[in-house]
Amino acid sequence: MAVSFSVFAVTPSCNNNKNAKEDKELSASDVPTSVKDAFNSKYSSATDVKWEDAHENAQQTYKAKFMLNGKKMKAEFDENGAFIKEGEDS
């Protein structure tokens, strides 16, 4: 009687960034005032703002997803309200 074994690699995820955490939606009341103030100052005409808990280089950040001039945008701030980055949201 012959017994055969198959050997294969199992990968836990297709995500290449092992330190990435899934962003979690937050209510505006969960976002620090300094972050909301910085966002409102930079994007005063933004609409449909939604906040997410995010991370940048293992640092706690806050990501805003919003509409600006007909485009879906996103911007990220640190917990003190310092601007980190922005871009179009797909």
19-37 confidence digits (pLDDT tens): 445 679 999 999 999 999 9
What was the pLDDT predicted at 4?
A: 54
pTM above 0.75, yes or no: no
Instruction: Give the mean pLDDT of the chain.
Output: 84
Evaluate if residue 70 carries a pLDDT over 80: yes
What is the C-alpha separation between 88 and 66, in angstroms, rounded? Answer: 10
**Residue 76, pLDDT above cutoff 50:** yes
Domains in the chain, CATH or no CATH each: 24-88 (3.10.450)
The pLDDT of residue 78 is above 50: yes
Q: What is the DSSP string of 11-71?
A: -S-S-S-TT----EEE-GGGS-HHHHHHHHHH-TT-EEEEEEEEEETTEEEEEEEEEETTE
CB 50 within 8 A of CB 67: no
